[in-house]
Structure 1
Amino acid sequence: MDTLRGIESFVRSVEEGSIAAAARKLGITPAAASQNIARLERALGTRLLSRTTRQLGLTESGRLYYDRVRNVVHDLEQAAAAVSALHEEPRGQLKISSSVAFGRHVISPLVPPFAACYPDVSIELVITDRSIDHIGEGIDISVRFAQQLEPGLIARKLGSVPMIICAAPAYIDRRGRPETPDDLQHHDCLTYRFAVDGRLFRWGFVRDGLRFEPELRSTIISNDIDTLAQMAIAGAGVTRLGAFIANPLIEQGLLVPLFGGDTTKGIASVAHEPLDFYACFLDRHAETPKVRAFIEHAVQSLKGRW
């Protein structure tokens, strides 16, 4: 236990910039924190910190030791929090990150009813398509589609969203209606570019049980799905939208769905490849009651929606 106290006092001193600040963080006196570090140094047989009246610095041994043990304190805190919170009601701050379009149209409407059910949980929703650092940004849950998943995160599937290829009636009147995905190479396509790595989002289909990506002629590219939807409404071309965006626009007559699997003209049935969305969290220790509660709320709310 003395070693663990020493490691905790040492790591906090480095992070906070002084032993006094570390002591305040730990709720102990500066003298106690200093003694914990001194005992740790004696046990290791080396000095970890260079102390002056104005500055606290790491020795060469201290830098090496800090790199090896700095995650220990975080892991211990997470483990303690997970155990103590196992049977608690959801409470505290819940920070959720989501990709822009899905967050705007799907996740944000789920937040008010969740907040009403759990008044002890305060919620922050971060809407962004950039890469997210769970630890550095304090993110409890990140909502991502399959192409955004990263190794090391635990992912729980929220649902599969149908993808709809569509265009405005004005565009179809002007350029004609593509009959198959292969016809897209002769049409103006409005495509999405990933903000994180600059890749273009490919359009996947399944025909006779086989997945394929048709050749596209991208005439307009954007990193925002809602922008592509508005340009499609204006008659700029054919685009690919999630059902949560496309369906209301189709119901209003602003867009027309394409490739509905019509075989009356001898065309093989074509299925649009769906987009799978996941709620991700860092590790088992991060699956606190508030995290479990929101994921369950999202899964139940979205069940059977598409």
Structure 2
Amino acid sequence: MDILRLINSFIRVVETGSIAAAARAQGMSAAAVSQSISRLETHLGVRLLSRTTRSMALTESGARYFEKVRHIPRDIDLASQAATVATQPQGRLCIATTAAFGRHVLAPLMPGFSAAYPRIDVELISTDRRVDHRLEGIDVSIRIQAQLNDHMITRHIASRPFVFCASPDYLQRAGVPSTPEDLKHHACLVFRYPTDGRFLPWHFVRDGQRFEARVNPGFVCDDIDMLAQIAVNGGGIARLASFVAQPWIDSGRLLPLFEPSARQAAHAQSEPMDIYACVSERSALNTKVRAFIDFLEQAMQNQADAGPGIGR
């Protein structure tokens, strides 16, 4: 009997609140998880969960048992890390990333990471929603500053410019804004966070002062690449990360706005996108995670040193 596997299933059921959710988190069927709980109860000779067709709750014995075993998976993982600290990083590494960053920056870099660390098996989760590292088995996530929370351990790995841009057709039709204050007269393509419905604000810095530009939302979307396509096809002004905008600018399909000019003594500059690697707790910074974060930080620094282009 693999008692550790049974215990892990029990912990996941308690943490996720249902057998179905625990099954999804473990990549198992609900029947297999239910059988694991039954086998563990038979092994212990006590009922751990009180289950009906509509609800599930810990029994008194189950609550006591959960408090004793809840740290076992983490302790085993830490022990494995200690035993293999001198060896090459290995095993499964689950990385969650924002959709646009994953598509335009992370995906092109992953073959190089796999070549450097062939014993690490990578799983990528591309989403702009809020993720739960522990419940979803995520080792590290890549987030921008606006998506951080106080419960995460973060490391700043890179900054990338935001680029305000529009198609030549749109600018010929609607005119070229000369200052951020002009944006309220234009169709602005606004990104909405899927997690809480907020708009991503359009922040600028002028003479050391930070301010938010008033915008007139022409289109609202929760996918940056869709907003880029709308901009390319004349739909309005978009605020895009440089790694999304640069290929379109290089092709002439989009034109950058608010570029520095000798005639503008008080130029307004867009705030950059700050990018962070996040883990749920310091003990999660194992050799696999550290190897990935170090690799990504160095790769993005190399891109920045190389000058404008994809991923920069």
TM-score, structure 1 length as denominator? 0.81
**Distance of 2:59 and 2:48 partners within structure 1:** 9
The equivalent of 1:27 in structure 2 is none
* Offset at residue 256 of structure 1 (A): 0.7
The equivalent of 2:24 in structure 1 is none
- Report which of the two structures shows the higher radius of gyration computed on alpha carbons: 1
The equivalent of 2:286 in structure 1 is 288
**Distance of 1:50 and 1:236 partners within structure 2:** 56
Residues 289-304 of structure 1: matches in 2 within 5 Å? 289-304=287-302
**Distance of 1:197 and 1:113 partners within structure 2:** 35
- Residue 96 of structure 1 aligns to which amino acid in structure 2? I
1:82–1:285 contact (8 Å) kept in structure 2: no
**Is the counterpart of residue 175 in structure 1 residue 187 in structure 2?**
no
Aligned-pair identity in percent equals 39
Gap runs ≥5 in structure 1: 1-6, 24-29, 39-46, 52-56
The equivalent of 2:93 in structure 1 is 94
1:48–1:58 contact (8 Å) kept in structure 2: no
After superposition, give the CA deviation of every residue in 1:151-179 in whole Å (9 maximum; x if it has no partner): 22211212001001111111110010000
The equivalent of 1:223 in structure 2 is 222
- Residue 188 of structure 1 aligns to which amino acid in structure 2? A
Residues 214-253 of structure 1: matches in 2 within 5 Å? 214-253=213-252
Q: 1:50–1:125: structure 2 CA closer, same or farther, 3 Å change rule?
A: closer
**Distance of 1:124 and 1:10 partners within structure 2:** 24
1:78–1:285 contact (8 Å) kept in structure 2: no
- Residue 173 of structure 2 aligns to which amino acid in structure 1? R
* Offset at residue 85 of structure 1 (A): 3.2
The equivalent of 1:209 in structure 2 is 208
**Distance of 2:58 and 2:258 partners within structure 1:** 66
Q: 1:174–1:14: structure 2 CA closer, same or farther, 3 Å change rule?
A: closer
**Distance of 1:261 and 1:146 partners within structure 2:** 25
- Residue 243 of structure 1 aligns to which amino acid in structure 2? S
Higher mean alpha-carbon deviation, 269-278 vs 85-94, is at 85-94
Q: 1:301–1:135: structure 2 CA closer, same or farther, 3 Å change rule?
A: same
**Distance of 1:274 and 1:50 partners within structure 2:** 50
- Residue 202 of structure 2 aligns to which amino acid in structure 1? W
* Offset at residue 12 of structure 1 (A): 5.3
**Is the counterpart of residue 274 in structure 1 residue 272 in structure 2?**
yes
The equivalent of 1:194 in structure 2 is 193
The equivalent of 1:142 in structure 2 is 141
- Residue 269 of structure 2 aligns to which amino acid in structure 1? A
Q: 1:96–1:78: structure 2 CA closer, same or farther, 3 Å change rule?
A: same
* Offset at residue 290 of structure 1 (A): 1.4
The equivalent of 1:3 in structure 2 is none
* Offset at residue 65 of structure 1 (A): 2.3
The equivalent of 2:309 in structure 1 is none
1:189–1:239 contact (8 Å) kept in structure 2: yes
**Distance of 1:276 and 1:10 partners within structure 2:** 42
**Is the counterpart of residue 78 in structure 1 residue 77 in structure 2?**
yes
RMSD: 2.7
Q: 1:59–1:198: structure 2 CA closer, same or farther, 3 Å change rule?
A: closer
1:13–1:22 contact (8 Å) kept in structure 2: no
* Offset at residue 261 of structure 1 (A): 2.5
**Is the counterpart of residue 254 in structure 1 residue 238 in structure 2?**
no
Q: 1:166–1:8: structure 2 CA closer, same or farther, 3 Å change rule?
A: same
Q: 1:8–1:126: structure 2 CA closer, same or farther, 3 Å change rule?
A: closer
| Secondary structure class of the residue paired with 1:303 | helix
Residue-pair matches, total: 275
| Secondary structure class of the residue paired with 1:157 | strand
Higher mean alpha-carbon deviation, 62-71 vs 10-19, is at 10-19
1:168–1:255 contact (8 Å) kept in structure 2: yes
After superposition, give the CA deviation of every residue in 1:92-147 in whole Å (9 maximum; x if it has no partner): 11111100000000011110011112211111111111111111111111111111
| Secondary structure class of the residue paired with 2:290 | helix
TM-score, structure 2 length as denominator? 0.80
1:163–1:274 contact (8 Å) kept in structure 2: yes
